[in-house]
Structure 1
Amino acid sequence: MKRSLKFLLVICIILPWGSCKVNDQSSGGRPPNSQSGTPDHKAVTTGYSDCDFGVKIFNEHATGRIIDDLNEIKSRYGSLPSELKELYPAARASWNAALSSLKHSYAKDYQADLPDYRGPFEDWRNHNLSDDQKFFLVLTELRYGPYPATSLDLAKRGAWAEKANISERLNAHIRVALHGNCQPVVAYKVKDLLNPKMLPQDLENALD
């Protein structure tokens, strides 16, 4: 079972988020002899291996994907563009605050409270946006190119918009990794395992 979960972790790093929902057929999703835990006892498992795996994916990759994008941009341009560095403190503050709130307030219908810009994406610079939202738009443009407004591929356009919208980016991770895998689990057991990686204060030293 441990070997299969390690394999799935590798798959989830390289495949779209929809591939990260786990269906553990070998044990019905519940590992044998698991401890149920109590609200005042820090558990090491939710009692469901698919939920445990979803929480692990969330903890590592909600923020980890942002760091990956930044590393790719730094590698491509030789250094991080100044606009990205100027917007980073606002993005870091909002993102980390949302993750901290999630840790304390997680519920099965939880949604992060963040700026929710829905476009138009092709001329977003003409709109008055907060710096935290601007950061994710600049990040997405530098990493994936301009918004594919003329593309007939709706999935491609949707994926770009999801990455560029700070609210939808985090809520997509919550929806797929946590809600998608932890529906049978009471919320406090999920909260016990939530320990998401935060965006670092010293960005330059955190990158490869």
Structure 2
Amino acid sequence: MNKFYLDIIETGGTIAFGLSGAFMAMEKRLDPFGVIIITFVTAIGGGTVRDMLIGKTPVTWLQDNSTALIILGTAIAALLFGKYLKQLSKTMFFFDSLGLGLFTVVGIEKGQEAGLSSLICIALGTTTGCFGGVLRDVLLNNIPLIFRKEIYASACIAGGILYFGLLQTGILVEYITTITIVFIVLIRVFAVRYKISLPASYNK
């Protein structure tokens, strides 16, 4: 894939996940410092775990200042303008879903660059997409979405399967990437809209 396009996707994912973390921290009424910390953790958590798993150290966000500055700017923007968004929970859901799609694709691409199998790339994409949200939820004393009945990690897996399926068709990778991101976001939106969830593993 074109590196410039991948960089745009990664930056978009960083902003989207950062905003989801910032809005959730604001809903919990954390002070500005707390909002900034949660924004950072949400934005870099998945990518940090991914880079450590594939042995890419120092991890990506430590290699230049741009990522940290983008996250800081995202947190400040959320603090300044978040109060004008009447329904923060819906805003948070949108950015969380968008970040999930963007970061899943980034994780898959990084796995391919490392020469990993398609199955491992899907697992790496799922880790990249989900782990920032896990850390965010743990720090905010919430049960992480990935451990609930919601369609979350399974959306990443479905997106990864679609990605590698489309690779066999000869379509441009940039198109495949865009289709996969939209597909993951739509799965999340439809699952929440129509209350579709995984079956519970226990009896009520």
Q: TM-score, normalised by structure 1?
A: 0.27
Q: TM-score, normalised by structure 2?
A: 0.27
Is the helix fraction higher in 1 or 2? 2
Higher relative contact order, chain-length normalized (CA < 8 Å, sep 6+): 1
Please say which structure displays the higher CA radius of gyration. 1
